[in-house]
Chain A
């Protein structure tokens, strides 16, 4: 029987309303006890004095790039980046090569994850075959194979009829469609958010309404057919407004927001640095504030990174040629802790809920809690630490981060997956 005793930490477990100095005992990969002065002999003791003990973070949105783009990331490297960021579970998107749109694809991810992954991997599948937006996948077969949701992320679903049928059909399995919203005609050749900055820089703009229009459509369709929709990486105020109204009407809509949309604006693009190019694009300060407010008010349910690795050869191009996407696993906690908790928008327990409990609930994953008997996925945080984000924090194969050099508060001290310490003090241990 393996055991690990995490002593004297501030245990914050939003699922159980717990926030107290306590010990946490893990036995055989599960939470065995939480309380003060646990003295039971444990094989290993972790001194968490001065630190925060939280349920392991869950990232609903990563790109592990395997199969097909292994020079950017692999399941092995991407899950180590996740471990370094305090994430104990990740949901990799299906826009690989080939696209994950069959049970065999799901099986491939599960096998590779079983062999190489440092954290839990919950695969999803595409909504349409090859993500072409033309015909729906075998949802039932894929759910049985282990797909926890469906998403054409990386591509918008332009055909309203396809979206309607996908939502309608998936409702049978109570599985949500995760949608990357953005009307392709309105996006055109756009590479950044349309506004004052794009006008100055002379870069083709993407109007925020390109996203909001599809958010509104998704909500209207989900309401009509009684489906579940999750809006990925919400980036503008109007989308937040539509989600809010959808929730008020009782629609099964949830939403995520990324650390970069919470912390950065289009003003960061001044130097045409492609490490600030992502989809949806960074918007104005006004939009950013609406996202922070939406998260604080619960309109946006959770934080997800949209960790999107691209090698330097891909990114070292002119701004319009460089691919969309930035990495985010390793930097997520320090960035959002600084922006939201130090910034005063959220309390630490609220932030932890957005990073663990809420995303687990959206996909009904058995994660995001420190209840007795739950999987012992634990993230230990050092909220006292201050410093700059530097090269040593990264475990991804790629370095396309917009946060290098940024001054932050807080970091991940250790990551524990099913009772096993996979990351501690800057070292990945698996």
Chain B
């Protein structure tokens, strides 16, 4: 006979609130997740955010676990956020940057990660310039892989923190009108937002940008395409602005930064077309005066700093939930 623990007995006494079980080994993208899984992460992050208000901003949940941050592209912001999230859950953190590692000496990605795994990493948080790099890794290593941004594919934790912020500020996601503005083609943030928001029943999802950066195929992902900024943001509840990469100009994807700013730069005057209290979001880092004006970035509607705070809560929720993986039918690759 099994002996019920106090916790089990407690749960038995309160089974009505049992959450949807979360059984995933890796977080590769939001496209793979179910609506219930996305919701579970968002709900879990609320409990995590609560820890930030305490005197001791740390809980023992992941004591004894090791998180390896493996960043093949520089991103102080995302790396620090993951590091803080792991530390607040009491995990140990090791940081690898590609520049200092043997990757630059020709070692293969798989070999690099196997080395880190041999040091006992339970989680590998990876940022890589190649779309699909975390998928390759997930097939070749035993650690749980968390995609911290792969090429122009997905950036799932950014998508989640954006949704968390919208939900926290506006109280819901169902029925919202959201516009994503900028270089959609090359944006992993846009893709993760699209998958997540579509699953959570957002009302209208509009993508706004020049035709060369907004291919028609995005329509099949349930989005409306707008090449005119004013039309695209008219009446929306949220404007999520993407960073424009200066090097796209040399690829002839648009004529000049100046023209981009003229056509798509978000200014106080322009955002008036949206709802009066529409949220202004940006995943950072910001090119002030290019895709967004100084006034808009620092204005009352901007939630850019809250996004950063929420990012830590989301990453804590993701680490916490993935650490509950016990193997089983829902795993992606076993």
Contact = CB atoms under 8 A, between A and B. Distances in A.
Q: Do A and B bind each other?
A: yes
Interface of A: 194-196, 198-204, 271-272, 313, 316-321
Specify the main secondary structure of chain A where it touches its partner: loop
B217 to A, nearest CB: 4
A195 B215 CA distance: 9
Given A203-B151, A313-B108, 10 more contacts: A196-B220, A199-B185, A200-B31, A200-B221, A202-B191, A203-B132, A271-B139, A272-B136, A320-B131, A321-B130
Q: List the 7 closest A-B pairs by CB distance, nearest first.
A: A272-B132, A202-B153, A318-B130, A202-B152, A199-B217, A202-B131, A196-B217
Q: Which of B128, B132, B188 has the most CB of A within 10 A?
A: B132
A272 B135 CA distance: 7
Contacts of B135: 271-272
Interface residues of B, number: 26
A287 B175 CA distance: 37
B254 interface: no
Contacts of B150: 202
B170 interface: no
Which of A196, A198, A200, A321 has the most C-beta atoms of chain B within 10 angstroms of its own C-beta? A200
Nearest to B251: A188
A194 B109 CA distance: 26
Contacts of B152: 202-204
Interface string B180-222: 0000010010010000000000000000000000010110110
A295 B18 CA distance: 58
20 contacts: A194-B215, A195-B217, A198-B217, A199-B218, A200-B31, A201-B132, A202-B152, A202-B154, A202-B188, A202-B191, A203-B131, A271-B132, A313-B108, A316-B108, A316-B110, A316-B136, A316-B140, A318-B133, A319-B130, A319-B136
Nearest to A204: B152
Interface in B110-156: 110, 128, 130-133, 135-136, 139-140, 150-154
A201 B131 contact: yes
A319 B218 contact: no
B131 A272 contact: yes
Contacts of A198: 217
Nearest to B150: A202
Contacts of A194: 215
B191 A320 contact: no
Contacts of A202: 131, 150-154, 188, 191
Contact of A320 (B130, B185, B188, B217): B130
Nearest to A274: B136
A323 to B, nearest CB: 14
Contacts of B151: 202-203, 320
B41 to A, nearest CB: 21
Contacts of A320: 130-131, 151
A202 B153 CA distance: 4
